Structure 1
Amino acid sequence: MHRIVYCRRVKGGDCYSTDPNVTYTSEEAEKAPLPSTIDSLITEFGRMLIIRCLRPDRITHCVLNFVTHNIGSKFVEPPILQLNTILEESNKRSPLIFLLSPGVDPAPKLQQLAEDKMMAKSRYYTLSLGQGQAPRARKLLEAGMKKGHWVFLANCHLSISWLPELDKIVEQLQTAAVHSDFRLWLSSSPTIDFPISILQIGLKITNEPQKGIKANMKRLYELITPEQFQRVKQDEKYRKLLFTLAFIHSIVIERKKFLQLGWNIHYTFNDSDFQVSENLLAIYLDAYDKTPFDALKYLIAIVIYGGHCTDEWDMRLLHTYIDSYIRNEILEVTYYKLSSLAYYYMPRDGTFKLYKDFINSMPTTDHPEAFGQHPNADIASQIQESKTLFDTLLAVLPQKSSATVEKEVENEVAKAASEMLKLMPHQVDIAAVKKYMLIDTSPLSVVLLQEAERYNTLLLNITTALNDLLKSIEGLVVMTVELDELFKCIYEGRLPYAWQRTYQSLKPLPAWFQDLRQRINFFNSWIESQRQPIIYWISAFSYPTAFLTAVLQRTARKDQIGVDQLSWEFEVNKAEDKYLSDTDDGVYVNGLYLEGAGWDRKQGMLCEAKSMELVTLMPTIHFRPIEYKKKLTRGLYIAPCYYSSIRVGSFIVAIELKTGSMPAEHWIKRATALLMNLDN
């Protein structure tokens, strides 16, 4: 963390400075007093700019406060969904469109409304769209328009090919003879394929679920009737395991708020998963005197919730949660702790009301530890939310401006493009690489050649695009769509998508360009030295999997064994890198960052991260190929290593790290992983 000094000039030129650590480290930095007399000198918007620089994770809270103070709280508080009121505002020609949010199903409330309006028995029809449902939907609409039915077509996003026909039907609604009681209800997840004309004509409804473990558990217990609560013979077991199921479901749903530290992939877990699990629990408890925990774990973790998971590391996390809560201790240990926090535990068994009262006593705001997460996980996800906020603001900025402003923007972009061309590294000398390959005949030299060719292609594309852009600004060539996008990216500091085809990166354009120059320097120094590096900067490789495979191939040739018989052994270096020397027993690798944990260099093991330390640079690691054998994993955490912080699709290798004083399950819930590249 850099020390920041606030300075204010007064008479005589004196300068007063204050260390802003109090503001920087405050849990609610947007409310903390600013150093010296700054508070009295700036507006609320000015304070927001300072918080933007010091604590980007708190900027969304600043924005909420700013909106509340200046235009009113109604713009930040979601209204309560009142279908009765919406129905009164609707008419027979305008569809009512539910924009679906994860975990929210409007069908039960709509069914209840239909019953209240005496439409449910023979005048309310619902159909979930999908393959082969178009003819039935067409018939329902034709009958509904004539007889005044309510027709609910759910999940329109699953029938994209039929939406153009639905668009025509809605268009005909505007002029055709339609029964006055007819209402067309639609539901769809957000998709770019949904017809714009339907959205323009229709009444849009969205209802996001209440957030938090407490809110989710309250909602789940509303789905259970008092009779259902008493239906199982082994009633105490059922009540305790039901509470556990509700807690698991709430954890699984709410964990998505941690973004990349939550789930690698965004899954649509919903209340039906809980209801099926609850029904399964009741059946098994009635069928067996001894609780079949293994069967319950398998069906809940693998079949019901696991049926959503397509990522092996997400599946490992789900298994860890299920193993932590579906166990005999839940039934036998009084006040069994569900978290390291004091207020999450198994309540004393009792009536339906007792369990609901206990849920009402739970905290409204969830601490990250409730999920097994470090407080830093909240900060990381809030920084990402702030980035999304600013990206959205940039996207909605007006594109038109005065000629003077446009000229200034063009000059800025031209200056930035010229500077990039001036600093552009030279292409890697392919002839020198091929000459080096005569000296080094190992598979690593082939990887070097492949990397050189990829980077040369990238450098050529960048140089060509920048030169064309400069010509376009001068009016010498036509400004194409691609050049216009490049113009915007340079002005906004964004990395153009076309330049990410060689390797994925989330860095802003200036940081990415600096990183690119360092990568080229790494490969040039390798070629110029005419020898393999002692330490490999693994992040420099655009395709590190090929590099690691080449290391395995080198060992396989040396030891005369098959590559498929080799696996990895890892040793994190405790000494300084200057003491390392050449080795043909694997490779030394650096450039990896640890996310979700800290690293005790002296002990060579995982430890808790310091507050606000989101990533830790790992020491050099020795990747040593060994003949495959069943290894003991006790005391080891298998950390997935990803190419970037967008974990889905960027997995490279699994690295074993010593767990330290905590078990591996602790770090699994922390989503601890290694990253090759950061976002800044």
Structure 2
Amino acid sequence: ELILRDSTAYTPIIFVLSAGSDPTSLLKSLAEKVGQEVEDLSLGAGQDVPATLMLEKGIRSGNWVFFANCHLSISWMPSLEQLIESYCNGKPHKDFRLWLSCMPHPSFPIPILQRSLKITTEPPTGLKANLQRLYNNMTEEQFEKCGKPEFYKKLLFSLVWFHAVLLERRKFGSLGWNIPYGFNFSDFSVCENILCLYLDEYEEVPWDAIRYLIAEANYGGRVTDNQDRRLLRCCVNQYFSEDVLTIPNFQLSILPTFYVPDDGTLQSYREYIKSLPTGPDHPEAFGQHPNADMASHLNETRILLDTILSLQPMTAQAGAKTPEELVLDSCAQLQEQVPKPMDLEKISKDNEHNSSPLSVVLLQEIARYNFLIVKIHESLIDVQNGVKGLVVITKELEEVFDSILNNRVPQLWGTAYPSLKALGPWVRDFLTRIDQLRQWVDEGVPKVFWLGGFTFPSGFLTALLQSSARRNGIPIDHLTWEFIVMNQEESSIQVYPKEGAYIKGLFIEGAKWDYDNAHLIEPKPMELTSAMPIIHFKPVDKKRSMKALYAAPLYMYPIRTGSRERPSYMLNVDLKAGSKDPNHWTKRGVALLLALAN
């Protein structure tokens, strides 16, 4: 209202959007309050003509015009700039206002920004702040609109809590969501109407329909990752069930503070929210382990330190080595450490009569690592020559120089397989990968494989399925995996498995494996990841159905989304859930990793 008071027909008003914010409902409420009609249009491809007509109509009639998501139609913004310039030189209706919403974008026209009033709407942080915001914006009419208030009020609070939990889980990084989604007030508003409509229309609560519309059609419409979708279903099944209506003060988490209040007035719900503790939310409120907070803080600290490191001056103190000298020393050491390529031609001849899928995997892996070895040696030589002034320093070589100086892996070297390790640990890891292949060539097929040592681990698993399918005369499409966690050390395994392979080197994040009882347990404080025992990946024709199994997603490295070119997700590994329900581990974000960041 203050912005409206300061504005005129000649000054557009821009909402600078942030993740999770949507000013549409607030703007419409303001228009209704002041008795003004507002026409809105979400911009995008092909919306330039309708937008122009809507703007011209608003200028004449005095209506408000709201163009949402200008960043999705950035190519039309110069035309909008000319339209604004045109009507500002004329005489628009005194009641006309142009409202815009846009994410920050480098190509947004500066003249529009200079002419406009700017508003930024940051979403609240914390469960209490999110609950307060939604209930404070709720009117008595909205709160009492349903014909079954004894059901609606409780489920409405569940929906508000559900919305707040989805937003706040983003702070836990990959333990919260694989992808940080921009859920906003529009999602909540639609689901609120769904609750009211379905409760009024049906005599009994249609739980399946409500859960589907919330988890799949509305909030789920934003979710693109399968593991995130599983988490969303898990939350919906907990917060929208018969227990919410039948159990007094239904607990929303294991913390006694958070529950669904009994039927009351809108003010009583506001008072309950006001009584909730302030300050940082306990991770258990989201179904997370306390370690999740530490993982989030470590990630933020790492980003801060990387930023500080990038701002360091590229000069040397008196008596210290210059950056060029440091890089030359590092290049010389790396050249000594990185081995020469393996003799692929000789290895191929030795295996020419071996047409097994695993032999094909071996040759493909050697070819990829040989290519990387050659690339490393060539770039090291070029950097040294560039520092000495013998060759021109290209942008690519400059990136290699900066990376070696700052102990990072050059992008040129990171194309064979994804990794978050610093340069020193990455080189040690790289040499271990080469050793596994050399040992395979010299001593035959390993009894235990390090799955994380392959550039293309999914190809290795497919080769295991192909071998089993050929051996047993079964179509490969009929095979699936059975996972047997071995309580043995690698040195004690002396024979090959009849089917599949023994896999070592996996890590678990968000939980821990109980070696004595062979099931998942809670990790110790500060134990963010832990090593898994050897697992037998066994191809089977028909999988035994067992209850209390948690399907733990297996990722190549800690960035669970991977990249567009190289997804990180591989498959789900079934692990015994122990005394906890599998949904408990789903909310914990428990996953297996082939490699860590350190």
Question: Same fold judged by TM-score > 0.5?
Answer: yes
Mapped pair 1:163 → 2:77: yes
1:418 aligns with 2:332: yes
Q: Which amino acid aligns with 1:385?
A: E
Determine which of 31, 45, 70 is the counterpart of 1:131: 45
Distance 1:462 1:335, change over 3 A: same
Number of the residue aligned with 1:258? 172
Which residue, out of 264, 289, 303, partners 1:374? 289
Q: Where does structure 2 lack aligned partners over 5 or more consecutive residues?
A: 562-566
CA drift at 1:284: 1.5
Look up the SS of the partner of 1:426 in the other structure.
coil
Offset, 1:161:
3.1
Write out aligned runs for 1:221-260 (5 A): 221-260=135-174
CA distance in 2, matches of 1:487, 1:412: 10
The residue identity in structure 2 corresponding to 1:367 is H
Alignment RMSD, CA only? 3.0
The equivalent residue for 1:298 is 212
Q: For residue 298 of structure 2, what is the amino acid of its counterpart?
A: I
1:522 to 2:433 alignment:
no
Cα 1:151–1:278 change in 2 (3 A) is closer
Aligned to 1:434: 348
Q: How many residues align?
A: 590
Equivalent residue, structure 2, for 1:121: 36
Measured against aligned partners, the alpha-carbon deviations of 1:125-150 in whole angstroms (never above 9, x if no partner) come to 54321122112334555677899986
CA distance in 2, matches of 1:114, 1:162: 26
- Find 1:646's aligned residue among 547, 559, 573: 559
Query: Could you give the per-residue CA deviations for residues 542-569 of structure 1, whole angstroms, max 9, x where no partner exists?
Result: 1111000001111111111111111111
Q: Partner residue of 1:672?
A: 590
- 2:188 is aligned to 274
Q: Kindly provide the amino acid, as one letter, of the partner of residue 441 in structure 1.
A: S
Alignment of 1:447-486 (within 5 A): 447-486=361-400
Deviation of 1:402 (Å): 8.9
- Name the CA distance, whole Å, in 2 between partners of 1:554 and 1:513: 33
Shift in Å, 1:376: 0.8
1:501 to 401, 412, 415: 415
Q: How does 1:277-356 map to 2 (within 5 A)?
A: 277-356=191-270
Note closer, same or farther for the CA distance 1:430–1:163 as it changes in structure 2 (3 Å cut): farther
Post-superposition shift, 1:204?
Answer: 5.1
Displacement, 1:257?
Answer: 1.1
TM-score w.r.t. the length of structure 2 is: 0.91
Taking the aligned partners of 1:533 and 1:432, their CA distance within structure 2 comes to 20
Verify the 8 A CA contact 2:251 2:258 in the aligned structure 1: yes
State the alpha-carbon separation in 2 of the partners of residues 446 and 492 from structure 1: 38
Given the superposition, is the C-alpha separation of residues 111 and 227 from structure 1 closer, same or farther in structure 2, using an over 3 Å criterion?
Answer: closer
Query: Quick one: which amino acid aligns to residue 456 of structure 2?
Result: Y
Corresponding position: 1:102 with 2:23: no
What secondary structure, in the 3-state scheme, does the structure 2 residue paired with 1:305 have? helix
> Which residue in 2 is equivalent to 1:6?
none
1:597–1:606 contact (8 Å) kept in structure 2: yes
**In the alignment, what sits opposite 2:467?**
554
Q: Which amino acid aligns with 1:552?
A: L
1:566 maps to which residue?
479
**Aligned partners of 1:507 and 1:596: how far apart in 2?**
20
Worse-matched range after superposition: 262-271 or 637-646: 262-271
State whether residues 400 and 411 of structure 2, in contact with CA within 8 Å, keep that contact through their aligned partners in structure 1: no
User: Are the equivalent residues in 2 in contact too, given 1:101–1:189 (CA < 8 A)?
Assistant: yes
Q: Which residue matches 2:523?
A: 609
- 2:316·2:322 contact (CA, 8 Å) conserved in 1? no
Contact 2:488 2:534 in 1 (8 A): no
In the TM superposition, residue 511 of structure 1 has moved relative to its aligned partner by 1.9
Q: Which blocks of at least 5 consecutive residues in structure 1 are unaligned? A: 1-82
Measured after TM superposition, the shift of residue 407 of structure 1 is 8.1
Checking the alignment, whether the CA contact within 8 Å between 1:338 and 1:344 is kept in structure 2 is yes
Q: Does the residue aligned with 2:322 lie in a helix, a strand or coil? A: helix
Q: Which has the higher contact order (CA 8 A, sep 6+)?
A: 2
Partner of 2:533: 619
CA deviation string 1:625-666 (max 9, x = no partner)? 11134x323021111100111112311121111111111111
Cα deviation code 1:206-247 (max 9, x no counterpart): 332111111111112133221222222221111111111111
Distance 1:403 1:661, change over 3 A: closer
Query: Alignment partner for residue 535 of structure 1, among 423, 448, 455?
Result: 448
| 1:420/1:281 CA distance change after superposition, 3 Å | same
For the pair 1:361 / 2:275, whether they are aligned, the reply is: yes
